Amino acid sequence: MKTIRTKEDYLQSLRELGSVIYFNGQRVADITTHPAFIPHINAAAKTYELAQRPESEDLATAISHLTGKRINRFTHIHQSVEDLIKKVQLLRLIAHETGSCFQRCVGWDAMNATYMTTYEIDQKHGTQYHARFVEFLKRIQSENFMLVGGMTDPKGDRSLPPAQQEDLDLFTHVVEKNDKGIVIRGAKAHQTGGANSHEILLMPTQAMRPDDADFALVAAVPLNAPGVVQIFGRQTNDERKLTGGMDAGNPDYGLVGGETLIVFENVFVPWERVFMLGETEFAGLLVERFATLHRQNYGGCKGGVSDILVGACALASEMQGSAKASHVKEKLAEMMHLAETLYAGSVACSAMGSKTASGAFYPDPLLANCTKHNVTRHIYEIARLAHDVAGGILATMPSEKDLNSPEVGGYVRKYMAGVKGVSPENRMRILRLIENMTSGTALVESMHGAGSPQTQKVMYGRLGKMDMKKKMAAKLAGVQ
Q: Supply angle C-alpha 394, 396, 397, rounded to 5.
A: 75
Instruction: From the candidates 10, 34, 98, 101, give the one annotated as an active-site residue.
Output: 101
List the beta bridge partners of residue 72.
Answer: 61
Instruction: From the candidates 40, 105, 173, 279, give the one annotated as an active-site residue.
Output: 105
CATH H superfamily, domain 7-283: Butyryl-CoA Dehydrogenase, subunit A, domain 2 (2.40.110.10)
370 is catalytic: no
343 is catalytic: no
- Specify whether the CB–CB gap between 85 and 240 falls below 8 A: no
301 is catalytic: yes
Q: What is the mean pLDDT of the chain?
A: 97
Instruction: From the candidates 294, 313, 371, 400, give the one annotated as an active-site residue.
Output: 294
298 is catalytic: yes
Q: Where are the domains of the chain?
A: 7-283, 285-464
pLDDT band at 309 (very low <50, low <70, confident <90, very high): very high
101 is catalytic: yes
Instruction: From the candidates 301, 313, 349, 370, give the one annotated as an active-site residue.
Output: 301
* Number of other CB atoms surrounding residue 325 within 10 Å: 12
Architecture, CATH, for domain 285-464: Up-down Bundle (1.20)
List the beta bridge partners of residue 262.
Answer: 188, 230
pLDDT digits (tens, 9 = 90+) for 223-263: 999 999 999 999 888 888 888 899 999 999 988 888 999 99
pLDDT greater than 90 at residue 428: yes
pTM of the model: 0.96
**Residue 9 class from Cβ within 10 Å (0-12 exposed, 13-18 middle, 19+ buried)?**
middle
Instruction: From the candidates 253, 298, 343, 362, give the one annotated as an active-site residue.
Output: 298
97 is catalytic: no
378 is catalytic: no
Instruction: From the candidates 120, 259, 279, 288, give the one annotated as an active-site residue.
Output: 259
281 is catalytic: no
- Specify whether the CB–CB gap between 220 and 201 falls below 8 A: yes
pLDDT digits (tens, 9 = 90+) for 359-383: 999 999 999 999 999 999 999 999 9
Examine domains 7-283 and 285-464 and report if their fold is the same: no
Pairing of strands 228-232, 21-23: parallel
Instruction: From the candidates 117, 152, 172, 192, give the one annotated as an active-site residue.
Output: 192
pLDDT digits (tens, 9 = 90+) for 257-296: 889 999 999 999 999 999 999 999 999 999 999 999 999 9
Q: Alpha-carbon torsion 404, 241, 16, 229, what sign?
A: negative
